[in-house]
Amino acid sequence: MRFHGYFRSSSSYRCRIACNLKGVEYDFVSVHLTRDGGEQKGAGYKALNPQGLVPAFELDGGEVLTQSPAILEWLDETCPEPKLLPDDPVERAHVRAFCAVIACEIHPLQNLRVLQYLRGEYGQDQEGVEAWCQRWIGDGLAACEALLAKRPAQKFCFGDTPGMADVYLVPQVFSAARFKVDLGGMPNLRRIAEACNDLPAFAEAHPSQQPDAE
Amino acid sequence: MRFHGYFRSSSSYRCRIACNLKGVEYDFVSVHLTRDGGEQKGAGYKALNPQGLVPAFELDGGEVLTQSPAILEWLDETCPEPKLLPDDPVERAHVRAFCAVIACEIHPLQNLRVLQYLRGEYGQDQEGVEAWCQRWIGDGLAACEALLAKRPAQKFCFGDTPGMADVYLVPQVFSAARFKVDLGGMPNLRRIAEACNDLPAFAEAHPSQQPDAE
């Protein structure tokens, strides 16, 4: 399997963590999102993934999987150990809701092309871009914190072993730091992100540890 | 079960279609997103869903499910007929990727609170807001069209019966019309949306048919 990704992409980072947790091996292919106007927009990559986004998983049979939420569900269905989702349908829904807050409420708003639009069309400088990111990342992570605060505290988001929610949380906390989001009021998220980063599966997935890191 | 939603919310619309396809019954509770500054921000609703977003499914046992992607997976797991996702893991990944383009690339950018931010912070008027929506809805739906164009044409997105991709597509096509997005270059999406809207499960889920429609 070939994993087409980029060290700083949150959704690549999610997939790296999940592969590490499950012991899934792959050949990494770097797609540089900002060099030469973005390699993801080149004809070569777009033949693989017409949407021009990373990550893409190119399976040995030639099938190409895109969109990290779909890739992560596929990984959990085809490489079941350790399970990233619980068995109980209502618990699965709670975990997936936590993931969706990050995947559907936060991450799309801090995407490179959206920030480029804010700069180009609305004349926003770095400070303006950070204010935008702080608003959406801050609101979204506060919602995640509220979801966890309603439950008995556990070592990870939804249990004593890391799962799908942790896979989404850690890259988002990393992005929050990049955009100077204040996580002061989110003790559960900070504690859990720290516990995750103590594990090799998470530490080795960190952007700074990737072959294409700058 | 109580379905807390709003007639014009895309994610409520998705869940209505899925419930109709599966014959799931519920008591509808209207949460008006713009009246009195937004009922979803009131203490009553936030006690149910601290994130203050619709939809929320309040189960008979008292559990509250939020975030439409999580609710839709839960519906498909607990009310399996008719199935909204195919059995094959790679096909499931293709369907979920299509859904994620809508849920994670398009919909978050046209959310009410994001458009309010554009108006309030960047001084955008209706035309500016429409340009923003046209860019992201247009790009995202073009990606969806490209995904379908690679496959043999079928009556619905991924087969001869409607499934999860159609559940996401139809509300997004409805929003595209609201924001005057040109779907001229998307013949598959237009054809499939029309085929869906001919079915009672979709027609009865249309915003104009809801008790809280204006």
One digit per residue, the tens of pLDDT, for chain B of length 214 reads 999 999 999 999 999 999 999 999 999 999 998 888 888 888 889 888 988 899 999 999 999 999 999 999 999 999 989 999 999 999 999 999 999 999 999 999 998 889 999 999 999 999 999 999 999 999 999 999 999 998 999 999 999 999 999 999 999 999 999 999 999 999 999 999 999 999 999 999 999 999 999 8
Q: Is A208 on the interface with B (CB under 8 A)?
A: no
Highest mean pLDDT among A30-44, A102-116, A192-206: A192-206
* Mean pLDDT, rounded, for A141-165: 95
How high is the pLDDT of residue A43? 84
* Mean pLDDT, rounded, for A132-140: 96
CATH number at residue B15: 3.40.30.10
Q: In terms of domains, do B52 and B102 share one?
A: no
Pick A51's closest partner by Cβ from B50, B70, B101. B101
**Domain boundary, last residue among B82, B113, B147:** B82
How high is the pLDDT of residue A19? 98
Q: In terms of domains, do A100 and A184 share one?
A: yes
Q: In terms of domains, do B70 and B94 share one?
A: no
**Domain boundary, last residue among B66, B82, B98:** B82
Q: Is B38 helix (H, G, I), strand (E, B) or coil?
A: coil
Tell whether the model's pLDDT for residue A114 goes beyond 90: yes
Q: In terms of domains, do A32 and A124 share one?
A: no
C-alpha distance from A14 to closest chain B C-alpha (Å) = 15
Give the rounded percent of residues in chain A with a pLDDT score beyond 90: 86
Q: Examine residue A209 and state whether it is found in any structural domain, yes or no.
A: no
* Mean pLDDT, rounded, for A61-88: 96
How high is the pLDDT of residue A40? 86
Would the CB atoms of B94 and A65 count as touching at under 8 Å? Answer: yes
Q: Is B195 on the interface with A (CB under 8 A)?
A: no
* Mean pLDDT, rounded, for A98-110: 95
Q: In terms of domains, do A120 and A71 share one?
A: no
CB atoms within 10 A of CB A65: 23
Q: In terms of domains, do A171 and A192 share one?
A: yes
How high is the pLDDT of residue A52? 86
Q: For an interface test with B, which of A90, A92, A101, A127 has the most B Cβ atoms less than 10 Å from its Cβ?
A: A90
**Cα angle at A132 between B116 and A55, to 5 degrees?**
110
Could you say which residues from 74 to 93 on chain B have a Cβ atom under 8 Å away from some Cβ of chain A?
Answer: 74, 77-78, 89-90, 92-93
**Which residue in chain B is spatially nearest to A113 when comparing CA positions?**
B136
Range of the domain at A171: 89-202
For A156, list phi and psi in degrees, rounded to 5: -115, -175
Could you say which residues from 4 to 33 on chain A have a Cβ atom under 8 Å away from some Cβ of chain B?
Answer: none
How high is the pLDDT of residue A44? 86
C-alpha distance from A18 to closest chain B C-alpha (Å) = 16
Q: Name chain A contacts of B71, Cβ cutoff 8 Å.
A: 93, 97
Pick A93's closest partner by Cβ from B70, B99, B109. B70
Averaged pLDDT score across all residues of chain A: 95
How high is the pLDDT of residue B186? 97
Reported ipTM: the value is 0.96
Number of domains in chain B: 2
Q: Examine residue A210 and state whether it is found in any structural domain, yes or no.
A: no
**Which residue in chain B is spatially nearest to A144 when comparing CA positions?**
B51
Instruction: Tell me which residue of B42, B96, B37 sits closest to B72, measured CA to CA.
Output: B96
Q: Is B119 on the interface with A (CB under 8 A)?
A: no
Pick A104's closest partner by Cβ from B95, B104, B147. B104
Q: Name chain A contacts of B130, Cβ cutoff 8 Å.
A: none
Tell whether the model's pLDDT for residue A35 goes beyond 90: no
Helix axes A187-197, A164-178, angle to 10 degrees: 100
How high is the pLDDT of residue A39? 86
Q: In terms of domains, do B192 and B93 share one?
A: yes
How high is the pLDDT of residue B73? 98
Q: In terms of domains, do B191 and B114 share one?
A: yes
Q: In terms of domains, do A113 and A164 share one?
A: yes
CB atoms within 10 A of CB A43: 6
**Domain boundary, last residue among B82, B113, B139:** B82
Q: Name chain A contacts of B131, Cβ cutoff 8 Å.
A: 121
Tell whether the model's pLDDT for residue A171 goes beyond 90: yes
Q: Examine residue B144 and state whether it is found in any structural domain, yes or no.
A: yes
Q: In terms of domains, do B77 and B124 share one?
A: no
Q: In terms of domains, do B176 and B133 share one?
A: yes
